[in-house]
Structure 1
């Protein structure tokens, strides 16, 4: 009983201290995952805590559950658009890319360590995949907004590449356990052909089985959430519990439970269901707790004194992995899909290693593979190096490669209420920021998203039904009715904006327009001039006439008065998607700054003296 009490005390204290340490470390830009890992080492037997922990079985169990919960949360937050945009390229990076990375890294391990090829390739297989937990957390925690294709590629790849890494790890562990022969427990003879066939069939079942369990399980989980009448607090528990059931069933039958639970989360997150906010918040909290516990536990497993003999060879493996293996794999898998050199460079650099390699590193120890503890130590050093070198420099790398987008305005205060699932809509509540577009512009020039309306406005204690005659003012409290996928657009309208001083990415927009919309109507909405000849033409034709056919391409921009139109996509020389940037960036010059200031001053004077209180 005393041990149980002490365990609860120590566990609670470590998690609490990890949270406070993470808050403090964010001021110097240290990756939170690195902080959690370092705290686990400090609490270990060679650290200040002196806690002796070497239960690899418990670590494997906790790692499996924790990683499953993190992938479930990652699936919830992966949009259908992101998956469709990057699925094909991400599958290549998650399969062939892992094999290439594992092969190059394994060859390096064979050179720096006096060991055989199976052991060296096992090291390469364990560190061959990017870590979903590290990618999801480090990208989102640092508040990075990346080019959509780059962000989608990294997130989808990290969610899909676990099956290949796990498959390769188990395959080489089985080979070593059988003394270099066939897979453990296989009925085939130990011949090269039999071994290759067994490996191929095993991988196909892992991937295909993971897809099957994920798609079917996701549909059943969503149906259960929508059909059962429960207390609101039980819906997130039900969703997570059923996700773990799918994970466990897939794993028990030899399929990839990690892929399955990612797809369960993806299915649930991209379809209307009950208790949307409750499930999202609960899953986010569980993912955080899993991340903290996993890194603390993995840090406890390591004895720093045992790492010193293998430190230099492990650093050499880390260097080759970061500087050679990952870039080569990225170039082979993405080079033919139109990625720019800068995009390839960033995707190569964000080949983050995190808790998944450490989790996989426990498998050789549990299977009593020769050199197992040294393998775990090598993997730990590789992960630590990745978090320090790559995790600490993600923001710098995004800026240097030009894949970072300007941050979207954040609403000062937003609350969200779920309506009945059948409605497909939600109620949003905002406090109007003085620097937001809705406060700085007449409402007739603020394009509210389609299928949305203002329900009421509270101002100085008085409630106005609908939009007041004088528009919205700073500190107004606004209730809106909107479809669920318009939250980001409302955040841009109600969030504080500052005049941007740096050139933006070609896809930085505030809203999308219909390319066939009448040019005169668009001009009236956004206050720019068109000629009589252009007035009755589609806005896409206006862009073509002003830019010319040679310059009309995805990313092309056309400045029109106070806004900028951006071509987002084309098919057969026809503009299919068009966006508008309400506050386009200008070069950082004295002239541009004066132009900005003059334009703002004129709009302020015009809105004050030439527009009546009704906004006309």
Structure 2
């Protein structure tokens, strides 16, 4: 990772640039098309920023409230809900004249910096969505571009790229960061790290398909500048980071601004104390727990109790244990077996059936009930046996 929180600065800049670039593109195209009076430009800018900010904040806190107070009946629905929130955060302000990109960015920032259940899975899900959208964008850009046009705009595009890289951006970066007493090597690296990406070409495509005519081939000029930025600047970023002494080996690259990682993956185990359970009536301090597990919560009716050594376990208590997550799931091969009418195992206890040496019944699905198998459990018709086979 990079020193002085530089990765987070670049990530914030990368995300916040696009909403304002889109806003300026729309405003300029509208003015050039004569679709707005000069006096209305101020209100348009105000509406774009204020509606985008306010609606983004409202939607993000609504999403947090839902995620905190409701449980989804089906696993994976939280990802669908957050995806719907992302789409809504763009659509609602856009319909009202606000900046949808700014609103969506604000929602992502707020949700990304709050503790959300299944956050790690959500981050990986949206990483996949991001990769899919990037492929789609570049496919569409390929349909719009004509490589034969690039040599015609190469010279002016190259001069613009050089000016942006070595003059305009360094001046802007130094003017903005100097008051914060940022180190010179950080300022130089941020100056170099201002890559132009696919969003720039997308906004140039807006100009290309708009009814406003211009004598310049804005789309292919922008396309050339982006290619220059990716090939030259992007390729030299690792070299510049090393030369400017900006690499920090002690930082976790996954823990930048909105990313998420788990240093110690944990899984939770829940079970209810029934009549005859060996732990019934014992104090927590007298119970021998499985190795490397922790009893972290005791639920008694509607009451949540933090278990102490002197806490006595009662019938009907639900205990929550934590244990380290096992991540080598490729070593486990699970299969399901539906017990149909006439199957030889129907009506027999598990201890009475024959299983191959490398197989084990780990769960029984009986209607809406999940049963942990024991030797005396009698199998019934329509039971679904979840079985593990050693590889």
Q: TM-score, normalised to structure 2's length? A: 0.63
Distance in structure 2 (CA, Å) of the matches to 1:391 and 1:345? 15
Equivalent positions of 1:17-416 (< 5 A) are: 145-178=1-34, 184=35, 186=36, 188=37, 195=38, 197-226=39-68, 227-371=70-214, 374-406=217-249, 416=265
Counterpart of 1:464 in structure 2 is: 291
Q: Is the 8 A contact 1:163 1:207 kept in 2?
A: no
Distance in structure 1 (CA, Å) of the matches to 2:44 and 2:229? 30
Distance in structure 2 (CA, Å) of the matches to 1:175 and 1:362? 17
Q: What's the offset of the Cα at 1:408?
A: 5.1
Aligned residue pairs, count: 272
Q: What's the offset of the Cα at 1:267?
A: 2.0
Q: What's the offset of the Cα at 1:296?
A: 2.6
Q: 1:344 to 1:200 in 2, by over 3 A?
A: farther
CA-to-partner distance for each residue in 1:409-467, whole Å, 9 max, x for gaps?
899x97735669xxxxxxxxxxxxxxxxxxxxxxxxxxxxxxxxxxx99xxxxx73469
Q: 1:414 to 1:270 in 2, by over 3 A?
A: closer
CA-to-partner distance for each residue in 1:365-394, whole Å, 9 max, x for gaps?
221222377110101001110001111111
Q: Is the 8 A contact 2:266 2:323 kept in 1?
A: no
Q: 1:306 to 1:323 in 2, by over 3 A?
A: same
Distance in structure 2 (CA, Å) of the matches to 1:167 and 1:303? 27
CA-to-partner distance for each residue in 1:289-332, whole Å, 9 max, x for gaps?
11122123213321111222111111111111111111111112
Q: Is the 8 A contact 1:307 1:377 kept in 2?
A: yes
CA-to-partner distance for each residue in 1:129-182, whole Å, 9 max, x for gaps?
xxxxxxxxxxxxxxxx0124322221112222223212221222123222xxxx
Q: Is the 8 A contact 1:330 1:347 kept in 2?
A: yes
CA-to-partner distance for each residue in 1:197-218, whole Å, 9 max, x for gaps?
5333322322222211111100
Q: What's the offset of the Cα at 1:407?
A: 5.4
Counterpart of 2:300 in structure 1 is: none
Distance in structure 2 (CA, Å) of the matches to 1:282 and 1:171? 34
More helix by share: 1
More strand by share: 2
Distance in structure 2 (CA, Å) of the matches to 1:396 and 1:239? 38
CA-to-partner distance for each residue in 1:485-526, whole Å, 9 max, x for gaps?
xxxxxxxxxxxxxxxxxxxxxxxxxxxxxxxxxxxxxxxxxx
CA-to-partner distance for each residue in 1:245-264, whole Å, 9 max, x for gaps?
12111112121211211221
CA-to-partner distance for each residue in 1:251-288, whole Å, 9 max, x for gaps?
12121211211221222222233332332221111011
Q: Is the 8 A contact 2:20 2:102 kept in 1?
A: no
Distance in structure 2 (CA, Å) of the matches to 1:224 and 1:232? 16
CA-to-partner distance for each residue in 1:553-609, whole Å, 9 max, x for gaps?
xxxxxxxxxxxxxxxxxxxxxxxxxxxxxxxxxxxxxxxxxxxxxxxxxxxxxxxxx
SS of residue matched to 2:115: coil
Q: Is the 8 A contact 1:327 1:348 kept in 2?
A: yes
Distance in structure 2 (CA, Å) of the matches to 1:417 and 1:464? 14
Distance in structure 1 (CA, Å) of the matches to 2:252 and 2:181? 30
Counterpart of 1:436 in structure 2 is: none
Q: Which blocks of at least 5 consecutive residues in structure 1 are unaligned?
A: 1-144, 179-183, 189-194, 421-455, 458-462, 468-477, 482-616
Q: 1:155 to 1:409 in 2, by over 3 A?
A: closer
Q: Which blocks of at least 5 consecutive residues in structure 2 are unaligned?
A: 255-261, 270-287, 295-321, 326-391
Distance in structure 1 (CA, Å) of the matches to 2:87 and 2:77? 15
Q: Is the 8 A contact 1:146 1:404 kept in 2?
A: yes
Distance in structure 2 (CA, Å) of the matches to 1:370 and 1:262? 31
SS of residue matched to 1:464: coil
Distance in structure 1 (CA, Å) of the matches to 2:252 and 2:86? 34
Q: TM-score, normalised to structure 1's length? A: 0.41
Distance in structure 2 (CA, Å) of the matches to 1:304 and 1:373? 16
Aligned-CA RMSD value: 2.9
Q: Is the 8 A contact 1:236 1:275 kept in 2?
A: no
SS of residue matched to 2:213: coil
